[in-house]
Structure 1
Amino acid sequence: MKNQQHAFDVIVIGAGPSGAVVSSILNQQGLSVLVLEKAHFPRFSIGESLLPQAMTYLEAANLLQPVVEAGFQYKNGAVFRRASRCTQFDFREKFSSGWGTTYQVKRAAFDKVLADAAEQQGVQIKYGYTVTAVNFLAEAVEVCCVDEQGNAYRFYSQFLADASGFGRVLPRLLDLETPSCFPVRQSLFTHIKDNIVDENFDRNKILITIHPKYQDVWYWLIPFSDGTSSIGVVVPPALMDEDEDNTHQLQQFISEATELAELTANAEFINPAQKIVGYSANVSKLWGDRFVLLGNAAEFLDPVFSSGVTIALKSAHLAAGLIAKQVAGETVDWQTRYHQPLMKGIDTFRCFVESWYDGSLQNILFFRQKEQGVERMICSILAGYAWDEANPYVADCSRRLNVLKELCS
């Protein structure tokens, strides 16, 4: 390794949230880390409403203070609306201990804050580098890439972490992709100058609105600190018109949800709407010989509970300590110490997502006679504490939700 021209202890693909966290933690432990990022920051990304659990992992990576100082929109909960009915959760009133507040962020700015802070700590990031091949040699992992001028490079490391998000570099290169268990859904979204004048609207919470006719069609409204908001809708392909302009189609869907349409009646669309199709993803394995998959590079469920960034940061936090041990020559049981713990929380979120789309969780959320203890347990999962097995709705999610489904029906 010492004789290689471009040798590092660890190479990370992707400088997004999970890449910034894992590289920062590894750097703190004295390892040399190279991050290869295809894009240049700032760049647009979705996943803009953080969960309080994510703050724990930012704090562990010494990345929390730059986020606090960046002036992002404070967030303390979530509001769910179905026609005239409304229910809200204050994350400070959850079952699990830990952070009860977080932020709603424009990802272009948020991701750059994290990456810049990681660089200031000593992490080396190369922007505009596309990974083209990965080879597992006897003494090193060889990562081949090209820059934007077409120059080819080879970098070497003892370990490789894929934090490439929806780019899913290693799943594609190593043929690890498998079909998602979720039906194909599409999303239309954009940023608006919201011009909301309703005094009852709480900018400190994400607003989730359900379509008045279709329970599997829902909208998000994520307010930002500068008077703008992210707005989007998730729909099955059968309800989309592929020949229709994205912006017009998004506006049409918004008009069908009366309360949301009235709330955003004065909104100005800042950018044309974008569309993502079939965003749910899965892989055959989360780790292998000298590599690990982090965050969305491994699995993405659904945006309904804003779990994506939290899962990404959890995976980075879990993996960092294990990578350091393996680089130091220790034997690491990745299945029991990474795969199984990570999947516990992912499976909890999956259970909630499945219950959301079959309508049972919606009925639970809007049930009028809530039991406070149960409400606090559900609030914890909505706040991102999907790994807290002291919570019965984590330890035995499916059965518990089925019981609630019967009680609330």
Structure 2
Amino acid sequence: MENLKSFYEVVVIGAGPAGSSAATFLAQLGHDVLLVEREKFPRHHIGESLMPNAYWQLKRLNVIDKLKEIGFVRKHSVQFVNDKGKASKPFYFKERNSHESSVTWQVERSEFDQMMLNNAAEHGAQIMSNTKVIDILQDNDTINGVVVKQGEHEHKINAKVVVDASGTSAFIARRLKIYEPDPHLNKGVLYTYFRGAMRECGVDEGTTIILHTEKKDGWFWYIPLKDNVVSVGVVSDIDKLFRDRTLSKCGIFMREVNRCKALKEKIQFATPIANVKVCKDFSYKSKQVAGNGYVLVGDAFSFIDPVYSSGVFLAMKSAEFAADAIHKALKADDVSAERLRSFEPQLLSGMESIKKLVYTFYDNGFSFAKFLKAYPQHQDILVDILIGDVFKDGIDEIFTAMENFQSPQMEYAQA
């Protein structure tokens, strides 16, 4: 642990998009930052599709040119295919916004996350990879540091603020028992990759496609990546997805493929290039985004179902909110919960808009096509949510109108 100090202004746990973004923003603001990552990069990670409004955080992070140089597939739209195989017209983001930010990227996370980590280092953050945070340091009800372990060596590091960006591990939230699963979104995920699957040309090549399985029991994502690779994953209720204990992961995946005719056609001549992987998609939210001496960002604070690809965007946006709040708190020499939570209402408002649309997606009695036919004036708001433009007034108008189209059991979506 050479060059490791015993004190930093800020220690960030986890170097995914949330952690690397938070570390970079804080370093840009002149703070002394340590970024601790348990794995050695590059490493595989799911969550490859970006929302267009991530552009503004990426620009502030100074990585737009780097993204263009890597050559990730460009994403112009999202499209939905119902359980009968009927496809919607693609929702083209440019129709709502003519700025270059309307076109985003489909990214291989191993490359994207490595780029983000390198960028944090270039901006002055100190990086410790292959290092675990094994405990937090507390003084009464204030977190003031962490205990890290690299190999057999442990080290205590004090900090004015600890940022938890540990992803779905939710390191601090679980330790403080402020972690709350969402009982309505108890899902499981199986995913893999194919080469040579069907893909469109031109602006439609990088379209994210969401395809329902029979009876809307689940859905597949279909995300075109570079090198003629497509990421394909299925999401469904855990009990339904794993109901047959005799089937392997591959067997379950193919059973679901056979229940989605439109997807089956897209991959019928493709070659699988990876084993089927499984992960839990337990949506959750922590009771608070910050406390005395600590802030939670990205999935360490909340995980929303991946249907609208909001994960990386919310990771970077929450990191931006957090970094600005931490900067002000450090300048005021006040790292109290009240000071550090100043951005929580705005963050929660935007996240709730996305979550409400997720709930609506899982309402089998709801039809987006019928809704937009009845309320064409709300298409702009719908696209706003799909691109991540949710941190503004006026978004809730669409959910008031949606109440007339939802099943009675979906009342919780408006809570």
Which TM-score applies when normalising by structure 1?
Answer: 0.90
Q: Which amino acid aligns with 1:355?
A: T
Q: Which amino acid aligns with 1:387?
A: F
- Alignment match, 2:373: 369
Segments of 5+ residues of structure 1 without an aligned counterpart are: none
Matched, 1:284 2:287: yes
More off after superposition, 338-347 vs 98-107: 98-107
CA displacement 1:61-95 (0-9 Å, x = unmatched): 22332222211110011010112321120011127
Stretch deviating more after TM superposition (121-130 or 274-283): 274-283
Match of 2:346 among 341, 348, 352: 341
Change (3 A) 1:197 1:330: closer
The equivalent residue for 2:259 is 256
Work out whether residues 86 and 366 of structure 1, in 8 Å CA contact, stay in contact via their aligned partners in 2: no
Distance in structure 1 (CA, Å) of the matches to 2:256 and 2:234: 8
Amino acid at match of 1:74: R
- What is the aligned-residue RMSD (CA, Å)? 2.4
Paired position in structure 2 for 1:268: 271
- Map 1:98-247 to 2 at 5 A: 99-137=101-139, 141-147=144-150, 149-196=151-198, 202-213=204-215, 215-239=216-240, 240=242, 241-247=244-250
Matching residue's letter, 2:231: S
Task: Supply the AA of the counterpart residue of 2:368.
Answer: I
CA deviations over 1:244-296 (Å, ceiling 9, x no partner)? 11122212211221121011111111111111124212212111001010010
In the TM superposition, what whole-angstrom CA distance separates every residue of 1:370-396 from its partner, at most 9, and x where no partner exists? 76532122111111112132xx3x234
Whether the 8 Å contact between 1:74 and 1:103 is mirrored in structure 2 is yes
1:19 alignment partner AA: G
Shift of 1:14: 0.6
Of stretches 369-378 and 288-297 in structure 1, the one that deviates more from structure 2 is 369-378
Alpha-carbon separation, structure 1, partners of 2:36 and 2:370: 45
Any conservation in 1 of the 2:145–2:161 contact (CA below 8 Å)? no
Give 1:197 deviation, angstroms. 6.5
| Alignment of 1:350 onto 2:352 | no
Letter in 1 for 2:378: V
Offset, 1:116:
0.9
* Matched AA of 1:161: V
Change (3 A) 1:304 1:176: same
Residues in 1 aligned to 2:143 and 2:353: alpha-carbon distance in whole angstroms: 36
Question: Does the CA-based 8 Å contact 1:286-1:292 persist in structure 2?
Answer: yes
Segments of 5+ residues of structure 2 without an aligned counterpart are 408-415
Change in 2 beyond 3 A, CA 1:356/1:173: same
Cα separation, partners in 2 of 1:67 and 1:384, compared to 1, 3 Å: same
1:46 maps to what in 2? 46
Question: Structure 2: which amino acid aligns with 1:237?
Answer: I
1:299 aligned onto 2:302: yes
Matches within 5 A, 1:386-397: 386-389=390-393, 392=394, 394-397=395-398
Offset at 1:96? 10
**What residue is the counterpart of 1:313 in the other structure?**
316
Residue 310 of structure 1: CA displacement? 1.2
Q: Which amino acid aligns with 2:221?
A: W
Q: Which amino acid in structure 2 is aligned with residue 20 of structure 1?
A: S
Q: State the partner residue of 1:91.
A: 93
**Are residues 59 and 118 of structure 1, via their aligned partners in 2, closer, same or farther at CA, if it must alter by over 3 Å?**
same
* Letter matched to residue 375 of structure 1: Q
After superposition, what is the alpha-carbon deviation per residue over 1:156-189, rounded to whole angstroms, capped at 9, x for unaligned?
1111101111121111222221232424111100
| Alpha-carbon offset, residue 97 of structure 1 | 7.7
Deviates more, 1:280-289 or 1:96-105: 96-105
Aligned AA (1:63): V
Greater displacement, 113-122 / 93-102 = 93-102
Residue 413 of structure 2 aligns with which residue?
A: none
Contact 2:371 2:405 in 1 (8 A): no
